Structure 1
Amino acid sequence: MQKYFVAIVPPEEVQAQAQEVKEAVRDKFNAKHALKSPAHVTLKMPFVWNEHKEDKLVGLLEDFFKERAHFQVEFKGIGRFGRRIMYARVHGGDALTEMQEAFSHYCKRTLKLNIELSDKAFTPHVTLVYSDLKKRFFDECWAMLKERGFYAKMDVQQVALLKKVNYRWQIVEMIALGPVL
């Protein structure tokens, strides 16, 4: 059994911007947990799947996503979940929300995965700082990220299946969305 999750992985220029922020936080505040995965917008939180049936999982994901059209997302500004996590805000409109909601139901019905609280209360974001940031540095780090900001756009044409390998998340498959409508 292995851990997987499904996400939108932004293009290189957005990855570079996120990496820059994560490294600045690591260098200044020694918070480095966010460096364990590429920048991403989670569509399905980590779940356990039989690694020997990974090809079947990929096929099932392809079946779902080939029916979804490309859409635009915009990364605009910085947000936070309480005093634990800081992130880049992601705006994808109805297309992103509807896709995630349909995917959540598909995961339950077809992949036999549980619907998580995060599936029901979907807040699209790219995590930049995890809860390994010491509490005494939170306000200073928050001010630094707010001043820096985070802005980019992308056309979502594919999603990624990621797998945990040696305590880090790695992309194992990119899955194309269907044609633009």
Structure 2
Amino acid sequence: MPRSMQKYFVAIVPPGEVQVQAQEIKEAVREKYNAKHALKSPAHVTLKMPFVWNEHKEDKLFGLLRAFFKERGPFPVEFKGIGRFGRRIMYARVHGGDALVEMQEAFRHYCRRELKLNEELSDKAYTPHVTLVYSDLKKNFFDECWAMLKERGFYGNMEVQQVALLKKENYRWQVLEMIDLGNSQG
């Protein structure tokens, strides 16, 4: 990959208590089971999976993202409970109602049409979630870790007023730009 091509993704990055709660769980999993991959990004609800973009054209990307999200209004999401994808990933369940699903679907089409990005399977089969444990957890610890997370639970809510563009830098995902939704003030 040429130096100017970098990895990005678009997500809802919860503020405050939800972020703290996720971070505490990720750190507890790292300390107890040495699974640390989830610590490479802030807690987030992915809207567009990682994609490659020319770093020299970031301003164009910002403009395209702002143009899409200014047409979307703020909406509430609730974080409630723990789920999993097979025996690989554990996550906090995200309930955003029709507003979240409709926004992600419209964004998926926008990314394909305007940003010329490929659609990933996970873009089409969208399951909003906040990943807490990745597949770097050793299989023999899965059941114990799952029981710990189920007992602990995960709860919170927020009004989504912004989305984040994240960029991979030094093997970690950093928030590069926060983009306001519609008429929200952020």
How high is the TM-score relative to the length of structure 1?
0.99
Residue 68 of structure 1 aligns to a residue whose secondary structure is coil
2:20 matches 1:16: yes
Q: C-alpha separation between the residues in 1 aligned to 2:183 and 2:75?
A: 10
Amino acid at match of 1:77: G
Q: How far did 1:170 drift?
A: 0.1
Aligned to 1:43: 47
Alpha-carbon distance in structure 2 between the residues aligned to 1:103 and 1:45: 11
- Cα offset, 1:13, TM superposition: 1.3
Runs of 4+ in structure 1 over 6 Å off: none
Question: Which amino acid counterpart does residue 179 of structure 2 have in structure 1?
Answer: I
Identify unmatched segments of 5+ residues in structure 1.
Answer: none
- By how many angstroms is 1:12 displaced? 1.9
1:117 and 2:121 correspond: yes
Cα distance in 2 for residues equivalent to 1:68 and 1:59: 15
Per-residue Cα deviation, 1:71-93 (whole angstroms, up to 9, x for no partner) = 00000000000000000000000
Paired position in structure 2 for 1:70: 74
Identical counterparts, % of pairs: 85
Identify the match of residue 107 of structure 2 among 91, 103, 110.
103
Name the CA distance, whole Å, in 2 between partners of 1:152 and 1:15. Answer: 10
Question: Cα distance, 1:115 vs. partner?
Answer: 1.0
Residue 140 of structure 1 aligns to a residue in which SS?
A: helix
Deviations 1:51-74, CA, capped at 9 Å, x for gaps: 000011001000000000000000
Q: What amino acid maps onto 1:91 in structure 2?
A: H
What residue ranges of structure 2 are gaps of 5+ in the alignment?
none
Q: Deviations over 1:16-69 (max 9, x none)?
A: 000000000000000000000000000000000000000110010000000000
Q: Quick one: distance in 2 between partners of 1:45 and 1:115?
A: 9
Shift of 1:137: 0.1
Residues 1-181 of structure 1 mapped to structure 2, 5 A cutoff: 1-179=5-183
In 2, Cα distance between equivalents of 1:114 and 1:32: 29
Give the TM-score of the pair, scaled to structure 2.
0.96
| 3-state SS, counterpart of residue 25 of structure 2 | helix
Write the letter of the residue equivalent to 1:121. Answer: A
| One-letter amino acid of the structure 2 residue matched with residue 92 of structure 1 | G
CA RMSD of aligned residues (A): 0.6
